[in-house]
Chains A and B, each alone.
Chain A
Amino acid sequence: MSAKSRSVIVIYLAFFALIMCAPLILDPFWLNRIAKYLVFGMLGVAVALSWGYAGILNLGQGLFFGAGAYMLAMSLKLASTTSLQQGSDKPVPDFMLWNAEPGAPTELCCINKASFLWLPFQYQWFGVAMGLLVPVVIATIIGAIVFRKRISGVFVSIITLALVLLVRLIVIDAQPVTNGFNGLTDLGWFKVGGLEFDPYIVPTYYFVAVALCLVLTAARLLVETRAGLILQAIRDDQNRARYLGFDVTVYQTFFFAVSAGVAGLAGMFYVVVSEFASPTFMDLTFSITMVVWAAVGGRSSILGACIGAIVINMISATVSETQGFAEAWKVIIGLIFVLVVLYLPRGFAGLAHDFVDRLLTGHKAGSRRTAGVSDASQLAE
């Protein structure tokens, strides 16, 4: 194993240790906040996978995040106590009653025309399965069409952007089943066996933290595989890869779907820690914000994009609550973004990358330094 990959492992382990230690110093309120930011970190991983490694700038990642969130929220809505107190022995979401036609039966099957869709969500694990499946299936369909037609670059961004807005409209419009603008609130807690994940307890934090560590490790390993290498080759030159015999569409669609799955997973964890799902998840600003996190952190670094998401959210939380900055914090975030794009095109991860290379080459300075100069140090020179 090279010194380089050893240092990568050390950096990952240091990050894991750091987020695992957070409960030692933080109160439940901040712990819950950090848990949300870890979820955003997971979204950063999704963006880095599709933008950094596949070269697909998805401006509609919120679609997959939102799909995952809504699927689990539907299950948790049915698990809440209010849903059981609507005058039926089976759970019925309260908002369905508010809008029910006079005389409609208080039953999930038929309180309104589409309410039967909620029936299988009485099983929490159905919601979980859908939270992964729906984003992956949507991404596979979009990918199969868009990439088959060899649409690339900014056009993919425009299509994904239009799609997330379209789905957002549909979700708001389907008020009888989605509660429209208000989204799904007053949710029950996520349960595994006998354990209930109250968002303000330490085990819930660990639930999210461990999931993030697993997602980071899996994503990093995935891009280290041969398929990951071929994907990067496709990002650099589609045609060249095609004439080497690779079915470019299949590779792009596969990684687009993986990225969507990670975003869907993040959506579900967000529902667990924040206890709501709303159409704001599919706002354009949110999808673009994710891209900013990844750009600042370093889009071609899985961990960089993840840390970018966490740190930017921590900064904006702190700054926006500081007297005097309450209004100006968006300007500050905007400024950071502009400066990073101008002076650090590879984000802070690029900087860290160069720094590690310096250390490593400095280490071997005594020996000859001819070939074997690593890629990033070339960039720095």
Chain B
Amino acid sequence: MAQVALTIDGLGVDFGGFKAVNNVSLTVEDGELRVLLGANGAGKTTLMDLVSGKTKSTEGRVFLHDTDITNWEEHKIARAGVGRKFQIPSVFKDLTVRRNLEVASCRNPKVLGNLRFGFSKESERDVDRVLDLIGLTEESNRLAAYLSHGQTQWLELGLLITQNPKVILLDEPTAGMTQAETQKTSQIVNSLKGKHTLVVVEHDMAFVREIAERITVLHLGQVLAEGNVEQIETDPKVRAAYLGSRGIL
């Protein structure tokens, strides 16, 4: 049996009486790709915020392998091995694409330890490999500010791949993308399967079918159902709560 990479145990947060996430428990195995589905306000992004440390939980625990990372500071959770991509693509706009990735390749977080020039050969090789994977080799000397929306999304994915965390949280990686761009994104995401444990929030069902193994459906801050694509598509509770009577497309 595969090892469990990420354990969420009874996690919840109370925003002054409103429970955006309420008693959510789920385990994601090493190398698994888990999709989180749910309507707007179901608590998907909040759940990611709780795991990555952006929001402090008021109940429950989060474990990365055997380490309890509940409510750690963001950069400590990141160093422990959880990477995150935001819904609104965020990259370092005034740096070139290559420099963006170099920042992510930096293994030493300390200021004084970084008072030196250049990056290791290994680090540069990583950057080259990732540039190739996200298809931005040609753009490597452009400022990130001049990339298209899709390219910016890929660059942020590239940052995560370079950072090389055990668990990667992706919040709507195809938001605002054309079909062709979505296609390429699913290739990138598929290439990460096995090497990383992935948790993906996504609305685009075509994309979900392309990448998903297991799906967890959230509804009103709670886990509604869990299973593979077929099980979820035919689950009456899911149909009623989220997909509507017509099903998923």
Where the two chains meet, the residues of A that have a C-beta atom closer than 8 Å to any C-beta of B are 221-222, 224-227, 229-230, 232-233, 235-237, 239-248, 250-251, 254, 370-375, 378-379
Contact = CB atoms under 8 A, between A and B. Distances in A.
Nearest to A226: B114
Given A237-B93, A243-B78, A248-B75, A230 B139 contact: no
Interface in B72-123: 73-75, 78-79, 83-84, 86, 90-96, 99-100, 102-104, 106, 108-112, 114-119
A375 B117 contact: no
Contacts of A374: 141
A230 B104 CA distance: 9
B163 interface: yes
Contact of B92 (A233, A247, A251, A371): A233
B141 A246 contact: no
A225 B116 contact: yes
Contacts of B91: 236-237, 240
B115 A245 contact: no
B142 A373 contact: yes
10 contacts: A227-B114, A229-B102, A230-B114, A237-B92, A240-B91, A240-B92, A243-B52, A243-B78, A244-B83, A244-B106
Nearest to A300: B94
Contact of B143 (A241, A244, A370, A378): A378
Given A233-B100, A237-B90, A379-B143, 12 more contacts: A226-B115, A232-B92, A232-B95, A236-B92, A236-B95, A243-B84, A247-B75, A254-B111, A370-B138, A371-B140, A371-B141, A374-B141
Interface of B: 52, 73-75, 78-79, 83-84, 86, 90-96, 99-100, 102-104, 106, 108-112, 114-119, 137-143, 146, 156, 159, 163
B115 A229 contact: no
Q: Which 9 A-B pairs have the closest CB atoms?
A: A227-B114, A245-B78, A226-B114, A236-B92, A245-B79, A233-B92, A240-B90, A233-B103, A242-B74
Contacts of B93: 236-237
Contact of A226 (B79, B116, B139): B116
B143 A224 contact: no
Nearest to A254: B111
A55 to B, nearest CB: 10
A222 B95 CA distance: 17
Contacts of A222: 115
